[in-house]
């Protein structure tokens, strides 16, 4: 059976560690791998993309492969062809398939019927490729992951869910602060952590801490993380979302509550003055632009792993 990367639950701690090590090696020497030589990778985009599309396209080229970028309106999917049939056809043409979709079910169905690896480039519930790049960025900055405290503040999006999964797997303490209606439920947070327990290689995992006060999550944190307040599809409720999330902005005062050297991360696109101040976004207390670059390096390591190049 092919390896897939749909949520991050496919990894154990040792594999996650090797992925991040390999990403650092590829970042230091971009031309050292030709794992995708004479291979094509399909990248299906049902949703707009900047970082995901560019990082995957460039990364595939750097690995010696050919990216086949497919928009939803360019495929017969737009005219009613099934996900199953699309998986069967593409599996005979390409070495792996990435999907950026508004449907988690479509991703699961694609993986079920494809005979090549399938990877998640974003769905409503998960964004594991982003979380890989986030952990790579934190590891570069701090030299380790285990025992660090990661505070996520704001709307608990797909990014927050993926950070819980992979952060817990890496041995990090993950704290989330969100207003009512925007938070992970205690049962879901606990379930995500428990799902990763078997792969963590230890009997006990640090619990995911849920807060309503962003200052409680930020206290002693090594990293403060946020996402947009108004995501794709949330435009009709934009005003209400901004009112509810106003206290959850990352600014210098919130960073001051963190550990010495605490820094901000943001998966982008950012809206300065909403979820993060311009002073933090463009200042010295962030690693956001390295984080954006690291999408490419982490995903190159992921593609090698999916195709069993090491």
Q: Tell me the per-residue pLDDT of 112-129, one tens digit each, with 9 for 90 and over.
A: 999 999 999 999 999 999
Q: What integer is the mean pLDDT of 226-239?
A: 87
Q: How confident is the model at residue 233 (pLDDT cuts 50, 70, 90)?
A: confident
Whether 179 and 44 share a structural domain: no
81 shares a domain with 230: no
> What is the predicted pLDDT for the residue at 256?
98
Is the per-residue pLDDT at 203 higher than 60?
no
Q: Are 124 and 234 in contact (CB under 8 A)?
A: no
> pLDDT tens, 21-69?
999 999 999 877 999 999 999 999 999 999 999 999 999 999 999 999 9
198, 238 contact by CB (below 8 A): no
- Catalytic (active site) residue 149: no
Average pLDDT over residues 154-165: 97
Active-site residue identified among 4, 13, 100, 297 = 100
Residue, of 233 and 66, whose pLDDT is higher: 66
Whether 138 and 104 share a structural domain:
no
Angle of CA points 232, 289, 154, to nearest 5°: 45
The number of domains in the chain is: 2
Q: Is 267 an active-site residue?
A: yes
Report how far residue 291's alpha carbon sits from residue 135's, in angstroms, rounded to the nearest whole number. Answer: 9
Residues 111 and 83 sit within 8 Å (Cβ to Cβ): no
Residue 106 falls inside a structural domain:
yes
Considering the domain architecture, whether residues 138 and 286 belong to the same structural domain is answered as: yes
pLDDT at 16 over 60: yes
Statement to judge: residues 157 and 79 lie in one domain: no
Per-residue confidence (pLDDT) for residue 201, from 0 to 100: 67
276 and 144 housed in the same domain: yes
State residue 310's pLDDT score.
Answer: 84
Q: What is the pLDDT of residue 206?
A: 64
Residue 8 lies in a domain: no
CB distance 206 to 173 below 8 Å: yes
From 295, 296, 297, 299, active-site residue? 295
Asked if residue 190 has pLDDT above 60, the reply is yes
One domain for residues 53 and 123:
yes
User: Is residue 188 in a domain?
Assistant: yes
pLDDT at position 231: 80
Mean pLDDT computed over every residue of the chain: 95
Instruction: Identify whether the C-beta of residue 212 lies closer than 8 Å to the C-beta of residue 177.
Output: yes
Q: DSSP readout, 141-204?
A: HHS--TT-EEEEES---HHHHHHHHHHHHTT-EEEEE--TTSS--HHHHHHHHHHHHHHHTSS-
Q: Which two tokens stand for residue 288?
A: 């956001």
- The answer to whether residue 295 is catalytic is yes
**Pair 139, 112 in one domain:** no
**Is residue 205 situated within a structural domain?**
yes
Residue of 4, 129, 130, 161 marked active site: 130
Per-residue burial over 214-230, b = 16 or more CB atoms within 10 Å of its CB, e = otherwise:
beebbbebbbbbbbbbb
Q: What confidence tier does 1 reach under pLDDT thresholds 50, 70, 90?
A: confident
Over residues 238-253, mean pLDDT: 97
Do 201 and 300 belong together in one domain?
Answer: no
Is 213 among the catalytic positions? no
User: What does the pLDDT read at residue 221?
Assistant: 98
On whether residue 246 sits in a domain, the answer given is: yes
Is 156 in contact with 184 (CB distance < 8 Å)? yes
Return the pLDDT at 78: 82
* Residue 2: inside a domain: no
Judge if 95 and 217 occupy the same domain: no
| Statement: residue 289 has pLDDT above 80 | yes
Residue 163 included in any domain? yes
Rounded Cα gap, residues 8 and 147, in angstroms = 20
Q: Which residue has the higher pLDDT, 234 or 223?
A: 223
**Confidence (pLDDT) at 3:** 96
Question: Is 129 part of the annotated catalytic residue set?
Answer: no
Give the confidence band of 157 by pLDDT, cuts at 50, 70, 90. very high
Give the ranges where the chain is alpha helix by DSSP (H): 13-28, 51-62, 83-90, 104-113, 128-142, 158-169, 186-200, 214-218, 238-245, 252-255, 278-281, 288-306
Confidence of residue 187 (pLDDT cuts 50, 70, 90): very high
Q: What is the mean pLDDT of residues 89-106?
A: 98
User: What's the token pair of residue 135?
Assistant: 């952990």
Sign of the torsion formed by the C-alpha atoms of 130, 153, 276 and 270 = positive
Domain identity same for 238 and 272: yes
100 is catalytic: yes
CATH number at residue 57: 3.40.50.1370
Q: Based on the fold, state whether residues 49 and 168 are members of the same structural domain.
A: no
Q: Map residue 271 onto helix, strand or coil.
A: coil
Q: What is the Cα–Cα distance from 113 to 309, expressed in whole angstroms? A: 23
pLDDT at residue 126 in the model: 98
- What angle, 0 to 180 degrees and rounded to 10, lies between the N-to-C axes of helices 158-169 and 186-200? 40
> Does residue 169 register a pLDDT over 60?
yes
The domain of 182 spans 128-291
What integer pLDDT is reported at residue 224 of this predicted model?
99
Pick the catalytic residue from 267, 287, 296, 297: 267
The three-class DSSP label of residue 226 is strand
Give, in degrees to the nearest 5, the angle at Cα 182 between 178 and 186: 75
pLDDT above 70 for 282? yes
Q: Which among 134, 227, 287, 296 is annotated as catalytic?
A: 227
Say how far apart CA 284 and CA 280 lie, in whole Å: 7
1 found inside a domain: no
Specify the pLDDT at position 204.
53
């Amino acid at each position: 059976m092919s390896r897939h990367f749909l949520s991050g639950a496919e990894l154990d701690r040792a594999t996650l560690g090797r992925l991040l090590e390999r990403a650092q090696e590829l970042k230091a020497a971009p031309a050292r791998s030709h794992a995708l030589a004479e291979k094509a990778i399909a990248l299906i985009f049902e949703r707009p993309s900047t970082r995901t599309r560019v990082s995957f396209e460039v990364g595939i080229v750097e690995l010696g492969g050919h990216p086949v970028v497919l928009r939803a309106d360019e495929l017969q999917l737009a005219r009613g062809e099934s996900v199953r049939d699309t998986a069967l056809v593409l599996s005979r043409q390409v070495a792996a398939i990435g999907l950026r979709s508004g449907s988690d079910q479509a991703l699961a169905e694609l993986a079920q019927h494809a005979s090549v690896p399938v990877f998640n480039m974003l769905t409503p519930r998960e964004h594991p490729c982003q979380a890989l790049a986030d952990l790579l960025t934190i590891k570069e900055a701090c030299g380790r992951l285990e025992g660090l405290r990661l505070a996520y503040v704001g709307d608990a999006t797909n990014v927050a869910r993926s950070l819980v999964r992979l952060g817990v797997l890496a041995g990090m303490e993950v704290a989330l602060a969100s207003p009512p209606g925007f938070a992970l439920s205690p049962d879901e947070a606990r379930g995500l952590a428990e799902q990763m327990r078997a792969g963590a290689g230890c009997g006990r995992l640090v619990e995911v801490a849920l807060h309503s006060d962003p200052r409680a999550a930020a206290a002693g944190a090594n990293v403060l993380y946020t996402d947009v307040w108004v995501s794709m599809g949330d435009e009709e409720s934009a005003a209400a979302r901004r009112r509810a999330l106003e206290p959850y902005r990352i600014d210098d005062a919130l960073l001051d509550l963190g550990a010495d050297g605490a820094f901000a991360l943001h998966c982008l696109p950012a809206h300065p003055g909403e979820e993060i101040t311009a002073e933090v976004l463009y200042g010295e207390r962030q690693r956001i632009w390295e984080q954006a670059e690291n999408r490419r390096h982490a995903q190159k390591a992921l593609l090698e792993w999916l195709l069993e190049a090491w």
